[in-house]
Structure 1
Amino acid sequence: MDNIICGNGSDEILSLFANCFAGEGDEIVYSEHGFLVYPIATKAAGATPVVAKEKKYKADVEEIINVCTNKTKVCFIANPNNPTGTYLNRNQLITLRKKLPKSCLLVIDSAYAEYVEKDDYTNGFELVNKFNNVACTRTFSKIYGLAALRI
């Protein structure tokens, strides 16, 4: 049970990652149709938002890698994505982590993990244990119907 951060909803945790790992002069990457909190957290941290184009409303691993620079400190990926419902499979997430700059934190936002019933899906926990610079967020509000209770 090490490496757990509790917060006032996953929005707060996403903002904490942005503020702790990026600031003025740094970049945060996220996909084109990703969760709306990503650009808000990025700008609040003083970092520069970098948007990776998607293919058919799905995050494109190669495009994410292509837009990264030595200034990229965080990469947010909603998996499955909110609002499109698309997801990156286990191998795509592993490829993403391996190709991201070593200094870049990969944040896998798994708020809707319980809605995916595919064998090739991972909520990100296995990557947290396997690689450095990977974090995974979860929330009670989606699957447990506890929105606005701030648990």
Structure 2
Amino acid sequence: MAVKVKSREILQHIAAYPLGKSLQDIQSELGIVNIRNMSEIENVFGCSPSVKKQLMQRLDHLFTYPDGSARALSSKLADFLGVAQNQLFIGNGSDEIIRLLIRAFLNTTEEAIMADITFPRYKTNVSIEGGTPVIVPLKGGVHDLTAMLATITEKTKMIFVCNPNNPTGTIVNKDDLISFIEEVPEHILIVLDEAYYEYATSEEYLQSIPLLEKHANLVILRTFSKVYGLAGLRIGYGIMDSSILAELNKVKEVFNVNQLGQAAAMEAIMDQEFRKDCILRNERGRAYLEAELEKLGYTYFPTNANFMMIHIGKDGNEITQQLLAKGIMVKSGAVLGYPNSIRVTICSMEDNRYFIETLKNL
């Protein structure tokens, strides 16, 4: 029997996030035991061994509620970043903080500016809350900050800049970004999403935390899901003025971040050698892929993340299926705004080499 209760009108115009088939489903369908997952831009090197030990010690405490304010984690993270504890908001992934920022600050008559090809949850959450997404095309795969400034109206309430940008991996020049932040009116929130911050090794990448002292309308988002390898535990954080944090506390769930996630994040901060090793291995893999792709005549966006958007020059869906038949999962650019491209996670050197050899023989 069909349900007669109708959902909100806005949901009739919004599609669910495309998660795709599970690895197990694909293995079963294709009869392939070993599939190299280069699709989900996770840290394929996992998490620190000390994190695993810490999690085992916490298993006897699962009957207790987590600290709703994540005080211990906030204190340790504040010391590590050199910020005040009341500037840190801990979230169930940085995507939760995006949702809470929109819920707390965007009225139904107001607008939020974002790129056309970027993290899709900005647009979705703005629409769900009744705001208006204002879309500005990327320029060469990079945020067009000049065009974004020109789009500001009296209805503008927030601007999203994903840096490095997902799915292109590109960054905005630091001088251009500083000028942009200085030009945005102070009553407009600037949400600087730095989920891939640790992978950005270019000298042109902006170190944004020092700008918080001068720009109270700046919010910086980061995560433990990427370089720290804790995507399965959903831990993100925002660095912001304490007045913004106070408003987020009004709209968040009481126990929004689980106990194991908080413990794992605290332990991950302690093992910076593991983090540095992951960054170094990613840089080596990136250099290898760039060199080999140039030999093959393929172009790509210059990346400062742990993935690459590669321009194949053929239907991305077709190439994705051909690679899958050879045991390699990548993301088709067709669902990301670049129909003749694929997005590939930088993985172990063994997987990187296998990908290149397979690409040669397609």
Query: TM-score higher than 0.5 here?
Result: yes
1:70 offset after TM fit, Å? 1.0
Displacement of 1:71: 0.7
Q: Are the aligned partners of 1:79 and 1:123 in contact in 2 as well (CA < 8 Å)?
A: no
The whole-number CA distance in structure 2 between the counterparts of 1:28 and 1:97 is: 15
Of the candidates 211, 222, 234, which is equivalent to residue 150 of structure 1?
Answer: 234
Q: Alignment partner for residue 32 of structure 1, among 97, 100, 116?
A: 116
Decide which moves more: 70-79 or 119-128. Answer: 119-128
Identity between Structure 1 and Structure 2 (%): 38
C-alpha displacement at 1:123, in angstroms? 4.5
- Higher CA-based Rg: 2
Residue of 103, 107, 117 corresponding to 1:23: 107
Q: What does residue 217 of structure 2 align with? A: 133
Q: Which has the higher helix share?
A: 2
**Aligned CA distance change for structure 1 residues 123 and 109 (closer, same or farther; 3 Å):** farther
Amino acid at match of 1:7: G
Matches within 5 A, 1:1-151: 1=84, 2-151=86-235
Q: Could you list the runs of 5+ residues in structure 2 that have no partner in the other structure?
A: 1-83, 236-362
Q: Does the CA-based 8 Å contact 2:191-2:220 persist in structure 1? A: yes
What is the Cα-based RMSD across aligned positions, in Å?
A: 1.2
Structure 1 residue runs without a partner (length 5+): none
User: Match of 2:233, as an amino acid?
Assistant: L
Distance in 2 (CA, whole Å) between partners of 1:3 and 1:147 is 23
Answer whether contact 1:31 1:51 (CA < 8 A) is retained: yes
Contact 2:173 2:206 in 1 (8 A): yes
In structure 2, how many angstroms separate the alpha carbons of the residues matched to 1:102 and 1:53?
24
Amino acid at match of 1:61: L
Q: How many residue pairs were aligned?
A: 151
- Length-normalised TM-score, structure 2: 0.41
The question of whether the paired residues in 2 share the 8 Å contact of 1:110 and 1:123 is answered with no
CA deviation after TM superposition for structure 1 residue 113, in Å: 0.7
TM-score, normalised by the number of residues in structure 1: 0.94
After TM superposition, give the deviation of residue 53 of structure 1 in Å.
1.4
